[in-house]
Structure 1
Amino acid sequence: MAWQLHYTSAAAGPSGRAGFQVVAESPGLPAGPGARVTPYLTYRPPPSAPAAPSPEEIRAMPVAMSYGPADDHYALVRCHYLGRDYSGRYGNFFGHALVLAGDDLVGVRPIEFWRAPLWADTPVTPGASLSELAELMPGTALDPDSLGQWLAAGGPGAYRRLSGLLELVRRGLVEGYGRLILVGADCEEIVRWIAVISYSLAWEAVTRLSFVTYSGDPAATTQLIVGTTPDVWIPRDVDATVVALADEPAAIETGRFSETVRELWQAMDLDGIDELAAFGPDDPDTAAALVALCRTGADLPAAEQAAVARLLGDGPPEWVWPPLGERADRLGYPLAAAVALHGPATAAGPCAARCVLLALRDPALAALDLGPHEPSAVSRKVAVPEAYREEVAGAAREALGVADRLERLVGVLRVADAAGIGLPGREVERAVAALVDARLTDVPGQLERTPYRWREALLAGLVTGLERATSAVRESALTPEVCRALAGRDLRATPGTAAAVIVWEVKSARLDRVEATMRLLALDHAPGTAREREAALGDIWREEPTATELRRLIEEAGRQVQDYYVLNSLPARLFVRTGLRGEDVVEVADRIRKAGLQGSVIDDAEAVLAATGLAHAGSLNQAVAEVERLTGLNPRIDPELVTLTRDRAARTLAEQEPKSRTALMRKLSRQSRDWLLEQWLTARPNRAEQAALLEIAIRLREEGVHVPRLEEWAYSLVRGRLPFGSVDSRFRKDRELAEGLRRLMKPKRRVFGGD
């Protein structure tokens, strides 16, 4: 429903006054919108018009049809020159205005009312009532077909002008600044340009496209598009772009919207223009990019494709999906992903395949998001049509082979997994193995990212590569997290890697040391791995062994113990740590003997058994044999163990009577006698032991066995402050000892009161 009003100069209007005024209006016209129409009711003849024009000259003057907002309504006004007013003066004009509600223009562009039959040529009698217009019938002079033909007749220059004008209008509507003044001698030409622009825009944008087809004072107007004639003065500082239609089109930097609309008009693709207009006014450049891609196959740069991808999430017209599917091979990842996510199967399928192919080239693409809540097409399961599966699978294998770092390879696996593409485990294993070098980083993180079905292949390839790599690379790569992943796998064929994993399992209390040792011993003995195995054993047995561990180790490893220095040395470490105290020491040594071990380990054990066995020697000969056996072993056993076994043997033998000790010394070899005597003499003997040693010295001397070291000690003792009270009580009952002592000291001192 539209209200009407007439405006002109009258002798007496409805209020009784004379002059320009509203002489008639529709009943019920709202006061606010009615008042807002007044600024549109103006007309100034062109400066070149005659002061007293003839009727023909009046009819030739331009008609000013204007459109713009009027509060919450719209004003559509037609003003034309009448000539004389009621008083005979020139300057009168007639303005016919319509006040429209928003729904009055649905589907109709305001410029279509040019030459519409609803316009009155003369005002009604002042005070008359104007009817409300229930139906607004536009004119027929500006249909799109005739406008397209008119543009074509103008040649390339017309299309260049069109793109420039559209760009200027787009800036005014979208960016909110700038007006456009069209200067032309022919008002009809200006109207056609306004019409072409109007047909090129979304209907919602057209409702905001205010215009006036002619103004005698363009600087004072507020419309976005203003038409005027060349003779009208326009100040240089006017806030508008002035376009003289008689001149060649000026070069203007245009965008996607302007260029796409130009191409559509040039191709007379009116359906394409309508389809573009259907997207609405908010982002005409992005809508134009989508239309250009679908209608003309235009190549869109990445930024435009990303914008179009976001637009697809808003539910575009159904007609866009088939051409998007057909052009999948020209789409970048974000746009292809958007089609795969939002489009029907016919378009989503080829675009899903496109996404997979692009993500295989750059797996980082698969992590892209299209919006705050929308995962990318490849970060979720997508259906790749059967027609594309062979191509995609081939691309996946190729991407796997050229991956230059583990992160990239895992990205390929993730893409293949999301796309449901199979990759042979052996190929994955070989590709991973080739990437194990000094650049290998974040293995735990990549393992965590690896799809479950390829984790075993990745671990197998990792192990293969680690076994080939240098020890430095292997050490840096085998972090606790990686070792945890490899623990429990059969690594016997890769001893270098297995050794490091086993050591980690011991340190993390997943394996006891004996079990870990047995696993190490079971590894393949590949050339060059002995040193790593020995180093691993050293790490495992860094802490001192216990007797229980050694009993198990000897029982389970048997003669393999003698093949490794670390294992050979374990019993000696136990013997030394315990100081040969406790029954466990003898038991361990005895087990070593019974196991038939060879080398240093048996020597250490035999030395312990010899030293501890003296306490149970049943005869002098047995004691001599044990000491001599210990003497023979000393050069071959651990130095600390030498000291311990000699000390143990010496202390055990020191508990016997001097006569027995003398007999032992007499039968021992000089080498055995020397070390045993040295142990006794350096043990800081007390008075009783000093007397015992003195007795041994005397008896040996009397028997003709000279032990210089013992005799020197005895001389030194008796020349000092010898405690003769204790000696007297000890030797008085044994005349042979007393005489021997006398002869030992003679002639230095008298002993026991005799000569």
Structure 2
Amino acid sequence: MAWQLHYTSAEAGPAGRAGFQFVAESPGLPPGLAGKVATYLSYKPPPTAPLAPTPAQVAELPVALAYGPLGELSVLTRCVYLGQDYSGRYGNFLGHAVVVDADELMGLRPVEFWQASLWSDAPAPPGTALPELADPLPGDRVDPESLAEWLASGGEAAYTRLGILLEAVGKALSQGHGRLVLVSADVEEIVRWIGVISYSLPWPVAARLPFLTYSADPGAAPQVIVGTTPDVWMPSDIDAAVIRLDEPPDPSARLGRFARTVADCWRRSDLAGIDAIGELGRSGGGGGRFEPETSAALLAFCRGDPSVTIEEQSAIARTLSGDLPEWLWHDLGERSGEMGFELASAARALAPADTAERCAARCAVLALRDHTLPPPAPPLRQETRESLRGEAAQVLAAAQDLEELAEAAGTAHAVGAPVAGTDAGTATRALVRHGSGDLERLLGRVPTELHEAVLAGAVLGLEESPAEIRDRMLTDGVCDLLESRDLSPVPLTGMAVVLSLVRRARISRIDATVKLIRLGVRVEGGMEQDRDAALLSVWDAAPGTAECTALVDRLGTAMSASPHLSDLPVRTFLAEGLEDPDVVRLAELVRGSVPGYPATDAEVVLLAASVEEAELPEDAASLLQRLGALEAEAQEDLLREAVALAARALARRDPRFRTEVVKELPEVDRARLSNAWLDGRRSRDEQAALLEVAIRLHLAGQTVPDLDAWARSELTSWSLFGSAESRFKRDGELAAGLREMAKGRRGRPWKREAR
């Protein structure tokens, strides 16, 4: 039910007083309501209107149709000028008010009540009980179809003006302040523009839009849209957009999305599009505030308008609600491929299942492309996840470094996108080959299911990379991960891994050597030099006897695979000393296991060690001759040590035995043995023994030049001669030989420094 009230100047109203007052109203009007309605009831003619107009001139004066809120109710008022009141004074008017609730205006724009049949042109007699209106009927002069025709008749200028008006109203409604003043001598034109604006808004918004078709004081009018005539004065600081309808619109005016979109809908007579914006406005969020730009952007987005910006999408995301119409969710799903992450995430959370799944896929795609975005939960359907496979492959292939690759792989795992191991491995291989990033960090971050494929690709990339990149990439952590892999197909990488492991004592030198030798099976193109350098690095310090023995046991003939390995036995022999029994046992093992010069070196050790056990001089001489025969093949230092060992062994025999050994030797071997005896420091007993050997060789006519020269020089010492003379006095032959060698020397004493 709607209540009616008439307001005018009467000589005697229902209360018996004179003046402006409510003269008639509907029964049951709530107390105090009339006073609230009175604030909407005022009228002054335009300033240029005649002071005493004729009835015809009165009929030409503008009608003031107003609409506004009234607490939980709304009020429609229509004020018309009447001219003279009961006293003959001009300025009387009729204010007809209709108070309604929301149900009475459901689906209607208040401006539709322009020229409705319910309005009275004359006040009812004072005290009249006005009927309640069960179903207030609007007029038929303001409808969207006729308004669309009227706009079309105005050409492009009309749509330009509409855009400007909608921009002003949209800002006022969304910002909560500001007004629009329409200036025209024709109130019908103002009504049409209010009608077009009302139909451009969602019904709930239009139902809350206060307007006034005419006011003689627009600066003081509280409505959002106020009409006035050109002759009305307005203050310069009025808080409103003032539009003169008798002037052409500004074609350069900047318009927002809402104004542009709705004006275009009117231009194309697309009333369904306008209704869609209205439906979005009713369904959207925003805490009840009308968001015209967002509603228009949402419609434009659903229709495939590529000009919708990411900022507009964000605004849409913030105002989405679960009560959007089904068609909208369907259209949004169709456009999911153009969504930004924020809109896709919001739609996924609110949309029905099919659209939500599409938006989930879009979120996943965007997260794959931009690793700064938080990875969304995976789509629910397996087929949706499978559809992400190609995108994941492209993102992995486009990674610029290993850090980006790790992020891409991690995001793919988080969003449920399948990633082929071959794709991950290929991308890793290319980036590692060019040294793009931190390999150890990648391996620590890559999802478990891709770890093996990434590691395999990394190994191939390492092998193909320059040495400086490979050295940088192969950190100790990476080498630990590669320790258990078969690296024989990638020997350069394998060598670096082995060196890292042995340097940190993760594996023994023996195990490292075995690994390097196995890598050597496939070494080609000059890589043997790299492997030999690696072996030299491993065995920079000579092995002990036990370690070398274990190595020979493990490798056997493979010791000859590298000259550095072949040198290890002799290095051990020299480092440990040839008199060590373990060295002798090692030499026996080498001689039987390692071909080539290591076996020769081992033979040298064994020959030298055997001299100690020789029972007969000829046996010892034979061993020394065999030792001498190896001079060309044996390591020089080892041969010298071996001869010295043999010489020391023979030095422990009596001079007769030693003399016989010398006599059995060829000249070169005699010289080598005697020089070994002469080297180093000698005790008095050893000097005497050597002197006896020299004398016996002299007597036998088989002197050794260096030994003989030494003996003769030593005999210049009176003390040595006297000691020898005393020692040999019981052997006449030796004594005679002593005197013979000393003959001619005793007058020129000269002492050779002991060696």
Provide closer, same or farther for how the CA distance between residues 223 and 750 of structure 1 changes in structure 2, counting only shifts above 3 A.
Answer: same
CA 1:71–1:332: 2 relative to 1, 3 Å? closer
Partner deviation per Cα, 1:521-556 (whole Å, 9 max, x = no partner): 343243433223323433444454354443343334
Residue of 517, 522, 525 corresponding to 1:521: 517
AA in 2 matched with 1:310: A
Alignment of 1:368-383 (within 5 A): 369=373, 374-375=376-377, 383=383
Counterpart code for 1:605: A
What does 1:330-345 align with in structure 2 at a 5 Å threshold? none
Does the C-alpha gap of structure 1 residues 750 and 292 become closer, same or farther in structure 2, counting only changes over 3 Å? closer
Superposition deviation, residue 564 in structure 1: 0.7
Q: Per-residue displacement from partner, 1:704-746 (whole Å, max 9, x unpaired)?
A: 4444434454455555684788667655555555554444444
The amino acid across from 1:604 in the alignment is: D
Q: Which residue of 2 aligns with 1:255?
A: 256
On the 8 A contact 2:262/2:274 being kept in 1, the answer is yes
**Structure-1 residue corresponding to 2:280:** 279
Quick one: which amino acid aligns to residue 256 of structure 2?
G
Q: Secondary structure at the match of 1:278?
A: helix
Work out whether 1:689 is the aligned partner of 2:697: no
TM-score (norm 1): 0.79
| Structure-1 separation of matches of 2:555 and 2:384 | 57
Matches within 5 A, 1:257-656: 257-280=258-281, 281=289, 283-295=291-303, 297-301=304-308, 303=310, 306-307=313-314, 310=317, 314-315=321-322, 316-326=324-334, 364-365=368-369, 367=371, 369=373, 374-375=376-377, 383-384=383-384, 425=422, 437-444=433-440, 459-480=455-476, 482-507=478-503, 511-522=507-518, 523-542=521-540, 544-580=542-578, 582-595=580-593, 597-633=594-630, 636-638=633-635, 641-642=638-639, 644-656=641-653
**Structure 2 residue matching 1:319: 3-state secondary structure:** helix
Q: Distance in 2 between matches of 1:38 and 1:630?
A: 137
Deviations 1:381-401 (A, max 9, x none): 762499xx7xx9889889988
Distance 1:509 1:748, change over 3 A: closer
Native 8 Å contact 1:68 1:208 kept in 2: yes
Compared with structure 1, are the counterparts of its residues 647 and 262 closer, same or farther at alpha carbon in structure 2 (3 Å cutoff)? farther
- Give the % identical residues: 44
The CA deviation string for residues 600-633 of structure 1, in whole angstroms up to 9 with x for no partner, is 3223322322333333333323333333444444
> What residue number does 2:286 align with?
none
5+ long unaligned stretches in structure 2: 282-288, 749-755
Go from structure 1 to structure 2 and tell me whether the alpha carbon gap of 1:562 and 1:120 turns closer, same or farther (over 3 Å shift).
same
Following TM superposition, by how much is the alpha carbon of 1:594 offset from its aligned partner in structure 2, in angstroms? 1.2
Task: For residue 232 of structure 1, report the CA deviation from its aligned partner.
Answer: 1.5
Structure 1 residues 23, 563: CA separation in 2 closer, same or farther (over 3 Å shift)?
A: same
Question: In the aligned structure 2, how far is the partner of 1:36 from the partner of 1:676?
Answer: 139
State the distance in 2 between where 1:59 and 1:152 align.
29
| Aligned match of 1:228 | 228
User: Cα offset for 1:49?
Assistant: 1.2
Contact 1:333–1:365 at 8 Å: present in 2 too?
A: no
Verify the 8 A CA contact 1:551 1:591 in the aligned structure 2. yes
Q: Structure 1 residues 499, 55: closer, same or farther in 2, change over 3 A?
A: same
Shift of 1:591: 0.9
Superimposed CA distance per residue, residues 233-289 of structure 1 (whole angstroms, 9 cap, x where no aligned partner): 234443432211122221222232222212322333333322222223554333323
Name the CA shift for 1:106/1:715 in 2 (closer, same or farther; >3 Å): farther
Deviates more, 1:9-18 or 1:244-253: 9-18
CA displacement 1:83-140 (0-9 Å, x = unmatched): 3456543334455567777888665544344445666666678899999988766555
List per-residue Cα deviations over 1:417-457 (Å, max 9, x = no partner). Answer: 878779695x8877766666325434455566767666655
Q: Per the alignment, do residues 57 and 587 of structure 1 end up closer, same or farther by CA in structure 2, a change over 3 Å counting?
A: farther
* 1:593 CA displacement: 0.9
Q: Give the counterpart letter for 1:709 in structure 2.
A: D
Counterpart-to-counterpart distance in 2, 1:337 and 1:285: 20
Change (3 A) 1:183 1:313: closer
- 1:167 corresponding residue in structure 2: 167
Equivalent pair of 1:368/1:375 in contact (CA under 8 Å):
no
Partner of 1:149 in structure 2?
Answer: 149
Deviation at 1:465, TM superposition (A): 5.0
Q: Partner letter of residue 317 of structure 1?
A: P
Contact 1:634 1:642 in 2 (8 A): yes
Cα deviation for residue 63 of structure 1 reads 3.1
> What amino acid is aligned across from residue 174 of structure 2 in structure 1?
V
Could you tell me which amino acid in structure 2 is paired with residue 287 of structure 1?
S
Q: Is this contact kept in 2: 1:181–1:226, CA < 8 A?
A: yes
SS in 2 for 1:220: coil
User: 1:346–1:703: structure 2 CA closer, same or farther, 3 Å change rule?
Assistant: same
**In structure 2, do the counterparts of structure 1 residues 301 and 570 end up closer, same or farther at CA, with 3 Å as the change threshold?**
farther
Change (3 A) 1:557 1:14: farther
1:663 correspondence with 2:660: yes
- Write the distance in 1 (CA, Å) between the matches of 2:603 and 2:401: 57
C-alpha displacement of 1:216: 1.9
Q: What is the TM-score when the length of structure 2 is the normalising length?
A: 0.79
Give the SS at the match of 1:279: helix
3-state SS, counterpart of residue 181 of structure 1 = strand
1:60 and 2:67 correspond = no
The one-letter amino acid of 1:278's match is E
Question: Cα offset for 1:590?
Answer: 0.9
Aligned partners of 1:105, 1:577: CA distance in 2, in Å? 111
- More displaced 10-residue stretch of structure 1: 34-43 or 177-186: 34-43
How far apart, in 2, do the equivalents of 1:9 and 1:699 lie?
169
Q: How many residues align?
A: 735
Matched residue, 2:753: none
Q: How does 1:78-157 map to 2 (within 5 A)?
A: 78-85=78-85, 87-95=87-95, 107-115=107-115, 139-157=139-157
Moved more, 211-220 or 62-71: 62-71
Q: Which amino acid aligns with 1:272?
A: G
Per the alignment, in what secondary structure is the counterpart of residue 585 of structure 1? Answer: helix
> How far has the Cα of 1:185 moved from its partner?
1.6
Distance 1:573 1:210, change over 3 A: farther
Cα distance in 2, alignment partners of residues 473 and 622 from structure 1? 62
Q: Distance in 2 between matches of 1:241 and 1:363?
A: 45
**Corresponding letter in the other structure for 1:568:** S
SS of 1:218's partner is: coil
Change (3 A) 1:41 1:626: farther
